[in-house]
Amino acid sequence: MGAKSRLQQRDAHAKGRSIIAWDKAGKNLVTAGVDGKVLIHTWDPSVPSAVIATIKAHNAAVTCAALSPNGTVLASGSVDHSVKLYSYPDGKFQSTVTRFTLPIRCLGFSATGGLLAAAGDDDGIKLIAMADNSIARILRGHGSPVTWVAFDPKNEYLTSADSDGTVIFWLISSGKSLHTLTQIAPRIDVEFSESSNCVAWSPDGNLLALPGRKSDVLLLDRDTAEEICTFKGGHTSPVSALAWSLNGKYLATAGSDLQVVLWDVEKQQDIDGMLFETPLCSIAWKPVENALAAINMEGKFSVWESAVPPHMVSPTICVKSSLVSATNFEQLHKFSDDEGSEGHGQSIDLGSQDTAGGNEDNDESNGEEEEEEEFLSSKRRRGGNSASLDDVYDKRPAKRPQVETARASFTLKVPAMQGAFQPGSTYKVEGKRWFLAYNLIGSISSCDKDGSCHVEVEFHDITKGVRIPAMADYFGYTMASLGEIACVLASPQNGDKCPSTLTYRPFNSWASNSEWSMRFPANEEVKAVAVGNGWAAAATSSHFLRIYSEGGVQSFILSLSGPVVSMNGYQHQLVVVTHSSNPLSTDDQAMEFVVLDLQRRSKVMDGRLPLSPGSRLAWIGFSEGGSLGFYDSQGVLRRHFHEFGGCWVPIFRAEKERKNSSEVFWMVGFDETQTFAVICKLPETQPLVFPRPILSFFKHSLPLVNADLGGDDLENDYLRHSLLLSEARAKADRAAGEGLDADHEDDNVLQKEIEHDKYVLRLVAAACKGDKLVRAMELAASLRLRKSLEGAIKVVNAMRLPSLADRLNIMLEVCQKIVFKNGLLTSYPFSAATKYAKESGRRRFRTCACTRFFHLGAYSKSGGFGERACSKSRSARTTTISSPRSSASKTSDPERITGDPEGAASGSGSSTRQSNSFQSTCEDVARSGANLCSTEGKQSFCKITDAKWWSLHIEVVGAGLSQAAPGR
C-alpha cells in the first residue's frame, strides 16, 4: 500500500501497548506505556523531542491517558485499578479520583471537560464529575471489558465499545442506552491482542468511526447509528487504531498489517499510506499542522510530517463535506477564551458570506438543502446502506441551477501568543536540577527531589562573587534573574492560600537581614522578573510593571501595553518585551519593546521587535557594554544600533555556524565582537546543570549577499567595524553632551577608526584589482585617518592607476590640517584633532553623530563644554572652500573661493596658487571662530554642511558673531 517508513523513532516506553496524544496547542506529545510512566515530550519538526516531564504515579502498566479540552488537566488509568489526575503541562500529581476492582482500559473527557468517563474490566462505566471528583453516574450494559469510551463533540452522547465487538450509544443526560450494536466490531483479547475496539467521533459530531469485522472501517450516523459507508481495501488485517483530522476531511487508520492508511472521507478512498516495521497501537493527528504521531508495540513513537500530500487540502483547513452537516461544521474551530490554556492555538469561524445573490436565491438554496437532507434522512429510516454517495445523489431531486448565488465559508486560524519566559532559563526536568537563570555572570539552579526543593547561586568567576549558600525553597520558585550584586526570584500562584511571591537576595550588604519578599494579591501573578544595580522589577498578569529598590521599597508602578513576554536588566537599564497585538495569520508574533532608565526615570527607546518569520523570542538582554540584543527561535541574533534613528541589525546566525543538524545553539549573551552560546546535541535542546555547560564563542557575521569586494569575511569585517565605530562615536558624544569625562570614549573612537581603516584599505586593494575604480574611490572616502588615506594612495600608485591616484591626492589635500594656530585646531581626521585638544589643555574637539561636523569649543571656568551653546546661536555666516579639480569644474562653481579669482578661471596653471589660497582661506574661516572663543563663556563651532573631494562647505556659527567669515 504505502511506502516503507523512514521516520526516525524515539524511545518512550518498554515493549507493550502504549498510548500517544497531542496537547491542544500541538507543541507537546503525551505518551503512556507498560512501564507505568506517563511522559510529556516537546516536539519541533527541526529538533528531536525531549522529555520535559516524567510522571511515575502508578505502580503498574498505564493503559490509558486523556487530556482535558482546555489542556490543563491530564488523566491516566492503570492496571493498578486507579485513575489519577495531574496538572498540565508540568505533570504535578493532583489526586486519585477513583478506583476499580479490576484493571482500567479507557478514559475520555466530555466536550466541556465537566465529565470524565472511566471503564475497564469492571462492570460499568463511571462518569466522574470534575468539579468535585464525585461519581455522577455509572452506566451498565456491557457484558465484557470495555475497551474504549468517547464523548460526542455536541456533548449529548457517550459511545463505548467492548472486547466482544459491541458498541453502545448512551444519552449523557439520562444515562440510558440509545442504541446497542452487537458484534459490529472485531472480538479481541484485552490482554494480548494488538488491536483494540476504538471508536472516534468526527469533529462535528455527525459521524462515528469504528473498526469493522472484515478489516474495514465503518462510519455510523449520529442519530440513527446506521451505517453510512464503509472504507474497504486499505487493510488486510483488523484495524487497531483510528483518528480524525481536525477538519474532519481525513481519517487515519492503523492496522495489524503494519500499515497506516489515510482516507478522504468524502471521496471514500485511500489517498496515501505508510508501512511500518512494528504494529502500531495508537495514532493522533497534530491539531495545528499536517502531521500524524504514532506509537508502536515496541514503545517507540514517531511523527509523520506532511502526511497529507501537499497538493491536497491540509487537515487543519476548514472544508465542507457532503458527509458532514454544514450547519454544524463551524464547531470544528471554536474560539477558546480560557486563560488557563495560554500558548494554545485559537480558531475564529468567520461564518458564511453571500455574494452576488439576493434573498430569494438564498431561500431557494436553503429549500434545496432541506430537500436533500430530508431525502437522505428518509433513506436512513428505510434502512438503506450506501456504498457510495453517488448512489444517493443520483436518486435525489434534481437541483435547480445556481447562476448568481455563491456562498463562501472559511475559517481564520489565529496563532497562539507566546507565553512569558525568563532569558537563560531551562525546562524543569523531574528529579534533576534545572536552571532558573543562566548568564555571563553565573547561574541560579533549582532541584525538586523527594518533596524537598532548594536553590543554588553560582558565579562563573569565583574571585568576583562571594560564595552564596544554598537556600531552601518554600515557595516553589519557577523564575529568577541574576545580577552582579543581587538576584531576584519569583513563584507563581498555587491556589488561594499560596499567592505569587517575589524574593530579593543581595550578595553583599552592610546590614543584616537585607533579604526581603513580597506577596502579591490573589488575582495578580508574577510572569517575569529582572534585577539590576540597586533595583528589582516584576511584570505581572495584571499588566503591571512593579519596580522595587534594593531595600524593598516599591519605587514605581507602570502599566504595560500588553501581556509581558520577557524582561532583563543591566545596571540602571531595564528592557521589557510585551505583545502589541494578536499574532498575524502567518504565525508572526507581534511584539514591542521598551528600554527604561530606572535611575533617571526616563524612556531610553522603544519600538517593535523584528522577529524572524514564524519564530518565537528565545532570549533578550544586554551585552557586557550595555548594547541591547535579542535572539529568536530561528537562531538569529540581532543587535540594536543608533543608525537611522535606531535599527536592529542581524549579527549572528546559528545556521551558518552549525556543523551538523544535531547541534542546537542555546543563547547566553554577546559582546561587541562575539556571541556566547552553549551547543547542545540532540535530542537535548537545553543544557543540563550537570555536567556543567561549556560556553562556545562565535564571531559576529552579518548575512551579506555575495559580492566581489574581496570575500564575504572581509566585507563583513568592514561593515561590522563601521557599525562599531558609529556606536563608539555616538557614545562619546553622549558623554560629552552630559558634561562627563569622555577621554576613555575618545580613545575608544581612535582605536575603532584604526580598525575600520584597516579593513577599508584591504577592500580598496580588492576593488583596484577588480578594476572597480568608482568603488575604490567610495571606499577611500570613508577612511578616517590621514595616514590611511596616504596608504590608499600608495596602493593605487603601486597598481598603476593614475586617474584614481590624482583624485585621492586631491582628497588628501582637502583633508589636510586647516588651522593650527591660536591653540585652536580643526582638522581631518577627528582623532588627530581630539589628540591635539587634549594636549592643548584649554580647548576640546568633539564630533557629532554626523561625521561632517567640526566643533570648536572653549572651556569656561565652570568646565562646561561649548557644544551646548551652539543651539543658541543668533547668527551664522557661510563660505565655501574649493580645491582644484579640473579647469571645467573650476569655472562651473560660482561659490568657489580662492586667493586669485582670475587665476581660478585661467586653467590648470594655477594649481599651486589655488592650493595656497585654499589653505589660507581655511585658516581665516577658522580664525573667525577662534576670535569668538576668546571671550569667556562664548563658544563657536564650524559645521561642514557638505564635504566632497573637491570642496568643503563650512558654516561658522557663534553666539554674538562679531566677525564675518572671509571671502564672501
Residues contacting 749, CB < 8 A, separation 6+: 725, 728, 729, 732, 830, 831, 834
Question: What per-residue string of b and e applies to 157-186 under the rule 16 or more CB within 10 Å gives b?
Answer: bbbbbbbbbbbbbbebeeeebbbebeebbb
What is this structure's pTM?
0.52
Residue 875 has pLDDT above 70, yes or no: no
What pLDDT, on the 0 to 100 scale, is given for residue 730?
82
C-alpha cell at 703: 548575512
The pLDDT, as a whole number, for residue 604 is: 94
pLDDT for res 159? 97
Please state the rounded mean pLDDT for residues 785-804: 88
Q: Look up the CATH architecture of domain 434-699.
A: 7 Propeller (2.130)
914 vs 122, higher pLDDT: 122
Q: Residue 176 corresponds to which cell in the numbers above?
A: 440510558
Q: Residue 746 has which C-alpha cell?
A: 575618545
Predicted confidence (pLDDT) at residue 562 exceeds the cutoff of 90: yes
Of 29, 664, 663, 686, the C-alpha closest to 304 is 29
- Report the residue count for the chain: 968
pLDDT band at residue 855 using 50, 70 and 90 as cut-offs: very low
Whether CATH 3.10.20.740 fits 3-331: no
Q: Tell me the CA distances in angstroms from 457 to 350, 428, 436, 489, one per residue in order.
A: 52, 17, 10, 11
Residue 815: predicted pLDDT: 62
Share of the chain above pLDDT 70, in %: 71
Least confident of 222-226, 247-251, 501-505, 874-878: 874-878
> For residue 566, which of 510, 613, 622, 523 has the smallest C-alpha distance?
622
Quick one: which H or E segment has residue 721?
Answer: helix 712-737
Structure letter (DSSP) for residue 805: H
pLDDT exceeds cutoff 70 at 334: no
What is the pLDDT, as a whole number, of residue 392?
34
Contacts of 738 by beta carbon, 8 Å cutoff, 6+ apart: none
Kindly indicate the confidence band of residue 816, based on its pLDDT and cuts at 50, 70 and 90. Answer: low
What secondary structure letter does DSSP report for 787?
A: H
E-strand stretches of 705-859: 819-821, 824-826, 843-846, 853-858
In 3-state terms, what secondary structure has residue 531? strand
pLDDT for 46 = 67
Domain boundaries along the sequence of the chain: 3-331, 434-699, 704-815, 819-968
68-82, 309-323, 747-761: segment of lowest average pLDDT = 309-323
Q: State the average pLDDT over residues 853-867.
A: 32
Highest mean pLDDT among 364-378, 621-635, 840-854, 862-876: 621-635
Question: In which band, very low, low, confident or very high, does the pLDDT at 352 lie, cut at 50, 70 and 90?
Answer: very low
Q: What is the mean pLDDT of the chain?
A: 76
Q: Where is pLDDT greater, at 962 or 391?
A: 391
Mean pLDDT of 165-170: 94
Task: Give the pLDDT confidence score for residue 613 in this predicted structure.
Answer: 92
Q: Give me the numbers of helices (H) and strands (E) for the chain, helices first please.
A: 12, 61
Give the pLDDT of residue 173: 87
Q: Calculate ∠ Cα 578-582-585, nearest 5°.
A: 135
Q: Is the pLDDT of residue 7 over 60?
A: yes
- % of the chain surpassing 90 pLDDT: 43
Same CATH topology for 3-331 and 434-699?
A: yes
Least confident of 264-268, 442-446, 491-495, 730-734: 730-734
- pLDDT value for 378: 41
Reduce the DSSP state of residue 96 to 3 states and report it: strand
The set of cell numbers assigned to 568 is 532583563
Least confident of 202-206, 448-452, 514-518, 612-616: 448-452
- pLDDT tens digits for 650-684? 999 999 898 888 899 999 999 989 999 999 987 78
pLDDT (mean) for 785-802: 88
Model confidence at 196, in pLDDT bands (50, 70, 90)?
Answer: confident
Q: Which three cell numbers stand for residue 14?
A: 518498554
In this predicted structure, the answer to whether residue 834 has a pLDDT above a threshold of 90 is: no
> What confidence category does residue 319 fall into, taking pLDDT thresholds of 50, 70 and 90?
low
Q: Is 314 a residue whose pLDDT tops 60?
A: yes
| Residue 614 DSSP symbol | T
Per-residue confidence at 31, pLDDT binned at 50, 70, 90? very high
Sign of the dihedral through C-alpha 169, 174, 175, 180 = negative
